[in-house]
Amino acid sequence: MKEYFGNIFTALSTIFIGMKITFKHMFVPSVTIQYPEVKPQLPERERNRLYVNMDDCIGCDQCSRACPVSCIDIETTKALPGEDIGKTSNGKKKALWVTNFTIDFAKCCYCQLCVFPCPTECIYMTDVYEFTEYKRENLVYDFVTLTKEERQEKRDNLAKFNAEKEAEKLKAASEPKPEIKKDQPEEK
Amino acid sequence: MMYDFFVDLFGNTTISGIISGFVMSLIPLFLFILPFALFAVYLERKVSAHMQDRLGPMRTGWHGWKQTIADILKLIQKEDIVAKDNDKLLFNIAPVLTFAGSYAAFAAIPFTSIFIGTEVDLGIFFIIAVTGLVVAGILMAGWASNNKYSLLGSMRSVAQIISYEIPTILVVLSLVMISGTMNLHTLSELQTGYVWNWYIFGGPGAELSKFLLIPSMFIGFLIIYISTLAEVNRTPFDIPEAESELVSGYHTEYSGMKFAMFFLAEYANMFAVSAIVVALFLGGYQSPIGYLGDLIGAKWMIPIEQFSWFTIKGVFFVFVQMWLRWTLPRLRVDQLMTTSWKYLIPIAFVNLIIIGLITLL
């Protein structure tokens, strides 16, 4: 009998305790962040979309080699001897035209391994994380500042320069060189 | 009364009686139940959200007030799916029957002193009898769905509703013993005046018996509130729709408008049971503090005030139902039966005898 009324008392009192707690929570400010209008404060070392500052890039290919998923694709073209490309912000002399620098963000795993090897600190993480696309091809970002024609021009220039050099070499090779012949093993 | 007003309006013939009866039966649906269901769903989502430190719907309109309108528009557009092995006839009748059962209860609920669907002297008896249709509809839905979860849910629902009808009726019986009427309109009229004339405070009058009744009335009020909560399948008594066990119980297989009818019936039921509790114990449509219309001599204002009081009291108890839902966990089947048969029914019975003895004084 005592247990019976004890049960009723426990049931009712615990219900009222619970109701008191839930009622208090109605006036606690909610933890929801209204996302597109209010953006959450991201941590200092967040890792999001990469950015490459092409003014500082020397085309050393170190980031591409560090990438575990091979999402960075770099093509460089040697500058001609007379050309002056300029200097990076920390005083290194640039010797290569970067004719192709694409990062495929569909592949990128945001590991930040490409950021540390960069000698000029020109590749780094930004705080942009909203860059969805409807087509996967649109996620391939091209960072080169040169136009398509300029890139082709640089390649053509180098090809022309190389061809001229080759032609010079051939011309030089066609002339007899007795002293070199002496060192070579005799042909059969 | 409003019925006489309509009869006069349409010319006093037999046809006008039928027309005004029809109009009277549709008024609560379109002026009250549909807007109330829309509001209650919104309230439920907001209350649950804020009790869990969330915000709830925020996207549609100011604080998401258009959300339930969007939801109901979506439900209307949805495809009406009937599976191959469903019992077509029962499957289609069930939602209509469930809604009819819960809607018919509104016929005997007095909204104001001038509006009551039908002035039956058996008022509360009629409500208890006609809400039995809801049980039939639920069992029908579960059986016709040809789905184990639906059937389990509806069986549980029927067992639960039948168990909890008994304490409800015992408390109603004790009220009928005191007041001597089953008509909810008369019952509300008896509690006129101020707060202390409500039946939860022993009813009108100032004799010794009134004060002796007060503890019994509080117990009766608690019992009828708990058991009506169980009758409308709300948490903590929601084992018929237990989401984590039974998908969503008897309406698992329903979609589109048929699902909307179950939904509407559920929210109409929530208000109906709150209204019954209010009419029995808390003065129905009576104001606790007197009427402004009486004070400034504008008699036409009184029904409007009465309607507001009735709605405020009803919505408050609907809010308490929601509050309990987000406070208490679901009862197990055996705990549910224990609560009814071991606790509520014996206490209600003893309460009935005590009230009977007091009324003999």
A12 has pLDDT over 60: yes
Grouping H, G, I as helix, E, B as strand and the rest as coil, residue B242 is coil
pLDDT for B134 equals: 84
Using the CB atoms, write b or e for A132-160: b if 16+ within 10 Å: eeeeeeebbbebbebeeeebeebeebbee
CB contact under 8 A, B55 and A21: no
Across the A:B interface, residue pairs with CB atoms under 8 Å apart total 42
Q: How far is CA B277 from CA A12, B256, B283, B303, B348, in A?
A: 19, 32, 9, 20, 15
Owner of token pair 């060189």: A177
Give A-chain residues touching B53 at CB under 8 angstroms.
Answer: 25, 28-32
CB contact under 8 A, A19 and B50: no
Residue numbers in B near A26 (CB within 8 A): 47, 50-51
- Listed by start position, the domains of chain B span 78-286+301-360
Give B333's pLDDT tier (boundaries 50, 70, 90): confident
Nearest CA in chain A to B63: A34
Determine, yes or no, domain membership for A127.
yes
**DSSP annotation of B110:** B
Q: What is the ipTM of this complex?
A: 0.77
Q: Is A22 on the interface with B (CB under 8 A)?
A: yes
Q: In whole angstroms, what is the distance from residue B232 CA to residue B325 CA?
A: 12
CB B146 within 8 A of CB B87: yes
Nearest to A30 among B55, B324, B347 (CB): B55
CATH value at residue A105 = 3.30.70.3270
Tokens of A95: 């010797």
Contact status of B328 with chain A (Cβ, < 8 Å): yes
The reply to whether A185 falls in a domain is no
Smallest Cα–Cα separation from B351: which of B164, B180, B170?
B170
Smallest CA-to-CA distance from B327 within B232, B236, B231 is with B236
Condensed to tens digits (0 to 9), the pLDDT of residues B268-296 reads: 888 888 888 888 888 878 877 777 777 77
- Would you say residue A137 lies in a domain? yes
A81-137 tens-digit pLDDT: 777 777 777 777 788 888 888 999 888 888 889 899 988 888 888 888 888 889 888
Question: Model's pTM, two decimal places?
Answer: 0.78
Give me the phi and psi of B110, to 5 degrees please.
Answer: -80, 115
Strand order in the sheet with A96-104: A72-78, A96-104, A140-142
Within a domain: A86: yes
List helix spans (H) across chain A: 2-25, 62-66, 148-174, 178-183
**Whole-number Å distance between alpha carbons of B173 and B348:** 10
Question: For residue A31, which residues of chain B lie inside 8 Å, CB to CB?
Answer: 53-54
Q: Are residues A30 and B50, on separate chains, in Cβ contact within 8 Å?
A: yes
CA distances from B13 to A59, B9, B16, B25, B349 (A): 98, 11, 5, 18, 49
pLDDT at position B248 is 77
Asked if B150 contacts B107 with a C-beta cutoff of 8 angstroms, the reply is no
Contact yes or no for A145/A54 (Cβ under 8 A):
yes
B293-314 residues labelled b (16+ CB within 10 A) or e (exposed) = beeeeeeeebbebbbebbbebb
CA distances from B209 to A183, B198, B199 (A): 134, 14, 12
Out of B51, B58, B343, name the one closest to residue A22 (CB): B51
A33 interface with B at CB cutoff 8 Å: no
Residue B218: which residues within 8 A CB-CB, separation 6 or more? B200
How many Å lie between the alpha carbon of A37 and the closest alpha carbon of chain B? 11
Predicted local confidence at residue A69, as pLDDT: 92
Closest CA to B109 of B163, B188, B181, B41: B188
Residue A65 sits in which domain range? Answer: 50-167
Instruction: List the single residue in B with minimal CA-CA distance to A8.
Output: B343
Contact B279, B130 (CB under 8 A): no
SS3 A103: strand
Residue B118 DSSP symbol:
-
State pLDDT tens for residues B86-138.
888 888 888 888 888 888 888 888 887 777 777 778 888 888 888 888 888 88
> Does residue A130 fall inside a structural domain?
yes
Return the structure tokens found at B329: 């966990």
- Structural domain includes residue A114: yes
Is some CB atom of chain B closer than 8 A to the CB atom of A15? yes
Contact criterion met (CB < 8 Å) for B326 and A22 = yes
Task: Inform me whether the pLDDT recorded for A8 exceeds 60.
Answer: yes
pLDDT for position B334: 86
Grouping H, G, I as helix, E, B as strand and the rest as coil, residue B26 is helix
Inter-chain contact B50–A25, Cβ cutoff 8 Å? yes
A186 pLDDT band, cuts 50/70/90, is: low
Determine, for residues B343 and A8 on separate chains, whether the beta-carbon distance falls below 8 Å: yes
Q: Domain count of chain A?
A: 1
Taking the C-alpha atoms of residue B237 and residue A29, their distance in angstroms, rounded to an integer, is 30
Contact residues on chain A for B55, CB-CB shorter than 8 A: 30, 32, 34
